[in-house]
Amino acid sequence: MRLTSAELLQVRMPLVAPFETSFGVQTERDVLLVRVELDGQPGWGECVTLPDPVYSPEFNEAAATTIRNFLAPALAAVDALTAAKVAVTLERFKGHRMAKAALELAVLDAQLRAADMSLADYLGGVHPTIPSGVSVGIQPSVPALLDVVAGYLDAGYVRIKLKIKPGWDLDPVRAVRERFGDIPLQVDANTAYTLADARHLARLDEFGLLLIEQPLEDEDLTWHAALARQLATPVCLDESITSAKTAADAIRLGATSVINIKAGRVGGYLQARQVHDVSAANGVPVWCGGMLETGIGRAANMALAALPGFTLPGDTSASDRFYRRDIITEPFTIVDGHIAVPTGPGLGVEVDEDALASVTVHRDTIPLAG
């Protein structure tokens, strides 16, 4: 098959509530979507960049430009294009992993729809449903946090992740433990600390957390290893893991004993599977992270999370955790703490083009030579 069409869509969707992390507050989701055609067969991808380069160096406009100017034209030049050829074709372009991942996902979706195979089957998924965790943003106060967490527990979420930062760490964690007891609980710092905070972070040990996610800067593998030696709480890397290679290095260094896998962060779902494989080979449990995805990216995450090494609940929440109504695809819902992995061809969800048009701010076709 050949890449016969590529389009970029900028979509804006309000969030049910502001989502605050150590790197800022999101009040709406500005999402970049990619629609391709392989010999006329449509496929959809979602780019997980944020509007600003605050989680990773990538951001929406840069990703759109990269896809338009470099990535899509390179793929259009490939005969017999398959998803397996995307990463190698784009290898000479440095970085821009989220942009590459979005395009690879769109190609995967088109290819698998044409082959009548689900993404979960293609990746090697083994679980029909996956346990659902939720990422809880920084709240204005501890009582507000307790209300929010109570709501998620009532909804059935089986694991709670609290965003932390200096000044919002011990108190909220203690309050959640005191109120809700022995629930599966973890924290995510999004790089907000330094090694000088090691003794402070060790005070989290008494709360029996599943893990602490990305306490230090992205590139601080050695420092994460040093910190890990000072904590009883397992260290889990997110931002630092940009490929299966960095995953292997981080594991060998002792910088991480659990890994958060986000396909966008590592350049695509195929590389994400390799991160899964290298982690499994080293006995390191993994879980599926999230980037406030719409139904398109959420569907792909459910398929990824169905792989056997995903032994911890991920940030694979129901659609209504972020969106009152995800009108782009049918919403994902939580039943008994679990979400069903789509079984239809490709992503296994259908894009409602009319509904999509109502939230689309900009849509344009990428000129492809030939």
Q: Give catalytic residues, as residue numbers.
A: 163, 262
> Residue 326 Cβ, how far from Mg ion at the closest point, in Å?
22
Q: How far apart are CA 283 and CA 57, in angstroms?
A: 30
> Residue 150 Cβ, how far from ligand OSB at the closest point, in Å?
18
Residue 75 binds to ligand OSB (criterion: CB under 6 A):
no
Segment interacting with Mg ion, rule: CB under 5 A, options 170-178, 197-205, 234-242, 272-280: 234-242
Q: Which of 3, 6, 43, 55 touches ligand OSB (CB under 6 A)?
A: 55
Q: How far apart are CA 239 and CA 250, in angstroms?
A: 12
Q: How far apart are the first and last CA of the chain?
A: 14
Residue 291 binds to ligand OSB (criterion: CB under 6 A):
yes
Residues between 93 and 152 that touch ligand OSB (CB under 6 A)? 135
Residue 188 binds to Mg ion (criterion: CB under 5 A):
yes
Q: Which residues have a Cβ under 8 Å from the Cβ of 326 and sit 6 or more positions away?
A: 13, 294, 295, 298, 319, 320, 332
Q: Which does 292 bind (CB under 5 to 8 A by kind): ligand OSB, Mg ion, none?
A: ligand OSB
Residue 60 binds to ligand OSB (criterion: CB under 6 A):
no
> Residue 357 Cβ, how far from Mg ion at the closest point, in Å?
32
Query: Closest residue to Mg ion, Cβ-based?
Result: 238
Residue 292 binds to ligand OSB (criterion: CB under 6 A):
yes
Q: How far apart are CA 176 and CA 270, in angstroms?
A: 37
Q: Which does 237 bind (CB under 5 to 8 A by kind): Mg ion, ligand OSB, none?
A: none
Q: Which of 22, 118, 242, 317 touches ligand OSB (CB under 6 A)?
A: 317
Q: One symbol per residue from 233 to 272: x for binding ligand OSB (CB under 6 A), - otherwise; what is it?
A: -----x----------------------------------
CA angle at 122 for the pair 119 and 128, rounded to the nearest 5°: 65
> Residue 257 Cβ, how far from Mg ion at the closest point, in Å?
16
Tell me the DSSP string of 13-77.
EEEEEEEEETTEEEEEEEEEEEEEEETTEEEEEEE---SSTTSSS--HHHHHHHIIIIIHHHHHT
**Number of residues forming the site for Mg ion (CB under 5 A):** 3
Which of 15, 94, 5 has its CA nearest to residue 43? 5
Which of 296, 367, 343 has its CA nearest to residue 106? 296
CA angle at 17 for the pair 184 and 136, rounded to the nearest 5°: 15
* CB nearer Mg ion, residue 46 or residue 239: 239
Tell me the DSSP string of 192-226.
---GGGHHHHHTTGGG--S-EE--S-TT-HHHHHH
> Residue 200 Cβ, how far from ligand OSB at the closest point, in Å?
20
Are 257 and 308 a contacting pair, CB within 8 Å? no
Where do contacts with Mg ion occur on this chain (CB under 5 A)? Answer: 188, 213, 238
Q: Where along the sequence are the contacts to ligand OSB (CB under 6 A)?
A: 55, 135, 188, 190, 238, 289-292, 315, 317
